[in-house]
Amino acid sequence: RTVYVNGAFVPEEAATISVFDRGFLFADGVYEVTTVLGGRLIDFAGHMARLRRSLAELAMDAPADEAEILSIHRELVARNGIEEGMVYLQVTRGAADRDFAFPPAGTKPSLVLFTQEKAVSDNPAAEKGLTVVSVPDQRWARRDIKTVQLLYPSLAKMEAKARDADDAWMVENGLVTEGTSNNAWIILADGTIVTRPRSEAILHGITRSAVLRLAEEAGHRFVERPFSIEEAKGAAEAFITSASAFVMPVVRIDGAPVGAGVPGPLSRRLRQIYIEEARRTAI
Ligand code: PMP
C-alpha cells in the first residue's frame, strides 16, 4: 500500500513521522475520512470545508491548498486501485520540542494520507441493522472539532463490544449526543425524522447534512432537536449516519427492539437515496 507523508508518496513501510510530532504527543491534530465509491470521492468539498473549520478553531496552519489535497486523494486512490473504501487524512501542528504552548509560527504542519479498501455500498450490516448500547458521554466539550483525540470513543466502542453490541450512543444530561463515530437519528411513528442540532456537543457530520437535505427534498418531515434513549427505544425507526456507513439502520437500543426490531422502511429508503446521490455527485 502506498501512503502519503509530508510531500511524498511512499510504501507504508517507508513512511515516517517524528516522535516529536504534536499529533503523537498531544493529539494536536485533526482528520477527515472521505469515502470512495466507484473510484470517486463523496462530498469532497464538504470534508474540505469541515477541515478548514477544524484547523481554524485550533489556529492550525493548512498544510496545503485544497486543489493539492484533492490531487493527493486522487493519486492515492489511483495508486492503490481503490474502487470502494476510504481516504484518511490527518493534519497535525507538526514536530517541535515538547511544550504545552504551541510551537513558533512557521512550524510546518504534518500531512498524512492513506487509503483503506472496504465494501461500502454492499454492506451486509445494512440488511441486518446495528445494535447499540448507551454510555455516558465523557469526551471533551468541543466535539465539533474533528480532532484525533479519540480515546473515549474507542473506550465506548469496547464497552459496546463487551455488552455484545455493535456500537454505543453517548448520552449527556439525559440526551443522546451521537454515536462513537457517527450521528444518531430516530424516526417517530408519524414519520418525522429527528436528529440533534449542530452545536459544540456533536461533530457536524457531512453525511448528516446531506441526509437532512435529501430528506427535505424527498418531502419527509424532519426536526433538529435532541432526544433521549427512552424516546429512541419507543421510536418507529432509528439509524446512524457517517461517511463510511452512509445511512445504517439501528434495530436495538440497550437490548430493546426499535420498532419491529428490523431495519425500518424509511431508514432503508434514505440509505438508497443517499447512495444514489453519492454515486451521482462523487468527483
Ligand atoms: N460523529 C462522530 C463523533 C464521528 O466521529 C463521525 C465520523 N467522522 C460522525 C459523527 C459522522 O460524520 P461524517 O458524516 O462526516 O462522517
Q: What ipTM was predicted for this assembly? A: 0.99
Minimal-distance CA residue to ligand 1 atom 1: 182
Decide: helix, strand or coil at residue 32.
Answer: strand
The rounded distance, in Å, linking the Cα atoms of 173 and 198 is 16
Contacts of 56 (CB under 8 A, 6+ apart): none
Residue with cell string 474502487: 83
Bridge partners, 181 (sequence order): none
Predicted local confidence at residue 58, as pLDDT: 98
Closest atom, ligand 1, to C-alpha of 206: 15
pTM: 0.97
Predicted local confidence at residue 46, as pLDDT: 98
Quote the distance between the C-alpha of residue 96 and its chain's center.
29
| Amino acid code (one letter) for 123 | N
Average pLDDT per consecutive 10 residues, the chain (283 residues; last block may be shorter): 97 97 98 98 98 98 96 98 98 98 94 97 94 98 98 98 98 98 98 98 98 98 98 98 98 97 97 97 97
Predicted local confidence at residue 216, as pLDDT: 97
Q: Which of 34, 182, 213 to mutate to test the pocket of ligand 1 (most atoms within 8 A of CB)?
A: 182
Q: Is the CB of 207 under 6 A from ligand 1?
A: yes
Predicted local confidence at residue 41, as pLDDT: 98
> Which whole-number Å values give the CA distances from 197 to 52, 92, 122, 212, in the listed order?
21, 28, 29, 11
Q: Is the CB of 241 under 6 A from ligand 1?
A: yes
The rounded distance, in Å, linking the Cα atoms of 166 and 41 is 27
Predicted local confidence at residue 178, as pLDDT: 98
Among 52, 33, 49, residue whose Cα is nearest residue 41: 33
- DSSP letter for each residue of 142-177: -TTS-BS--HHHHHHHHHHHHTT-SEEEEEETTEEE
Whether the Cβ atoms of residue 251 and residue 257 lie closer than 8 Å to each other: yes
Predicted local confidence at residue 71, as pLDDT: 98
Whether the Cβ atoms of residue 171 and residue 137 lie closer than 8 Å to each other: yes
Domains present along the chain, CATH in parentheses: 2-117 (3.30.470.10), 125-281 (3.20.10.10)
Closest atom, ligand 1, to C-alpha of 143: 3
Residue 146 CA to ligand 1 centre (angstroms): 8
C-alpha grid cell, residue 256 = 430493546
Contacts of 191 (CB under 8 A, 6+ apart): 220, 221, 236, 266
Q: Is the CB of 132 under 6 A from ligand 1?
A: no
Q: Is beta strand 130-136 parallel, antiparallel or unpaired with respect to 167-172? A: parallel
Predicted local confidence at residue 42, as pLDDT: 98
Predicted local confidence at residue 125, as pLDDT: 93
Predicted local confidence at residue 258, as pLDDT: 98
Catalytic, 233? Answer no
Q: Is the CB of 182 under 6 A from ligand 1?
A: yes
The rounded distance, in Å, linking the Cα atoms of 133 and 209 is 24
Predicted local confidence at residue 76, as pLDDT: 98
Among 108, 118, 146, 233, the one annotated catalytic: 146
DSSP 8-state assignment for residue 197:
P
Q: How many CB atoms lie within 10 A of CB 249?
A: 26
Q: Is the CB of 87 under 6 A from ligand 1?
A: no
C-alpha grid cell, residue 184 = 444518531
Whether the Cβ atoms of residue 156 and residue 180 lie closer than 8 Å to each other: yes
